[in-house]
Structure 1
């Protein structure tokens, strides 16, 4: 027989592994059942709450993206107000990505991508306001954005940012050769 206090410590550690996805869920379930001698009660309520949280956060982040597009292109707010709303949506999306990282890495990365898209839209909008019909300024902003995406992709090993940066450079080069 194992010391009950030690058994509780081990079970708490396995639950932590399960929550942080250090081991596959079915391995953790097996270990919990083994150490609890079949007495471990799994928490379907908690799993339902996490699933609901994921769904609500996906909907919320998508609404942030949609509202950003609407605020930038289809409203007649003051420019400062439009920028402020978009910056707020970027902050909310990054915060959601940070919070989601412990539940779903895939969703967390998706949220970072949505934040990058909103930021790109905002930068293009601000450039078009500040430098009306200036293709050089717009090109510089797009080039800078591609460098940032490529750097983020390489530094934090986020392949979609790397692909977006390289794709942006290719489109930028195509744009320059056609003009």
Structure 2
């Protein structure tokens, strides 16, 4: 087989692997068929093996990255607020960029670790800026959570990381719960249910509507909808002072209803979630 045709096929297999269009073992099988043993072993080489080989560029790059992060961490509190914001943007973008490179080359676990590090640093450094500047945290903390949630949703979709998207939607759910409790601190359990159950139905409904055109988003919306099904109980426990024992019966009833619905409708929802 000609080299250019082989390269086209291997690039297509790599695209299938990144987009999860085929299971991992099928992609490995096809890759072994259309690649030489030498190229395949080089492609599957782990990051630790590159360190073991003594790649000086990689070692110096890691040293520079660690030194720069330590510099920012030590002098972050003395930076002006504009430079603090710029530092957050740079560190977060760098972590997400490295995560994208790892994902592109098949190092999925390292990609998830870098994305998680960038997300946690974004949240922690943003909270540090709010504390250092002494601004009104009643406004800026929700604003920080909103920005982080939006970033996690967008980056999670770009990097095909469902868990990161899920955390972004949960951040928005937390903001909604806090706003609801602030506006109406004392309401009946029926009103709490009515504030959450339509959102749960909306998440599951969007999962079904978008499963053809947005295959990566559909499972996330389904998981968010299922989570919001139980959010009324979490709302009254964490924000309205109810004890977990008082909500145990309601949680069990909801879990039983969800189990019955999932079983009866299993041939429908499994299709659009797994597609």
Give the TM-score band, short-chain normalised.
0.5 to 0.7
Counterpart of 1:48? Answer: 45
2:2 equivalent among 4, 7, 15: 7
Query: Given the superposition, is the C-alpha separation of residues 76 and 155 from structure 1 closer, same or farther in structure 2, using an over 3 Å criterion?
Result: closer
Question: Aligned to 1:148, what secondary structure does the other structure show?
Answer: helix
Counterpart of 1:111? Answer: 114
Question: In the alignment, is the contact (CA less than 8 A) between 1:94 and 1:111 conserved in 2?
Answer: yes
Higher relative contact order (CA 8 A, sep 6+): 1
Query: Given the superposition, is the C-alpha separation of residues 153 and 41 from structure 1 closer, same or farther in structure 2, using an over 3 Å criterion?
Result: closer
Counterpart of 2:125? Answer: 122
Shift of 1:42: 2.2
Shift of 1:47: 3.8
What are the residue-to-residue correspondences of 1:1-179 with 2, within 5 Å? 7-17=2-12, 19-20=14-15, 22=17, 24-32=27-35, 40-43=36-39, 44-45=41-42, 47-48=44-45, 52=49, 67=70, 70-71=73-74, 77-79=78-80, 83-104=85-106, 106=108, 107-132=110-135, 134-145=136-147, 147-149=149-151, 151-152=153-154, 156=158, 158-168=161-171, 169-170=173-174, 173=178, 177=240
Query: Given the superposition, is the C-alpha separation of residues 19 and 164 from structure 1 closer, same or farther in structure 2, using an over 3 Å criterion?
Result: closer
**Considering only aligned residues, what root-mean-square deviation do their CA atoms show, in Å?**
4.4
Query: Given the superposition, is the C-alpha separation of residues 144 and 71 from structure 1 closer, same or farther in structure 2, using an over 3 Å criterion?
Result: farther
Question: Aligned to 2:45, what secondary structure does the other structure show?
Answer: helix
| Corresponding residue pairs, total | 161
Question: Aligned to 1:160, what secondary structure does the other structure show?
Answer: helix
Contiguous gaps of at least 5 residues in structure 1: 1-5, 33-39
> Equivalents in 2 of 1:152, 1:142: separation in Å?
15
Contiguous gaps of at least 5 residues in structure 2: 18-25, 53-57, 179-234, 242-275
TM-score (structure 1 length as normaliser): 0.58
Query: Given the superposition, is the C-alpha separation of residues 125 and 20 from structure 1 closer, same or farther in structure 2, using an over 3 Å criterion?
Result: same
Shift of 1:83: 4.8
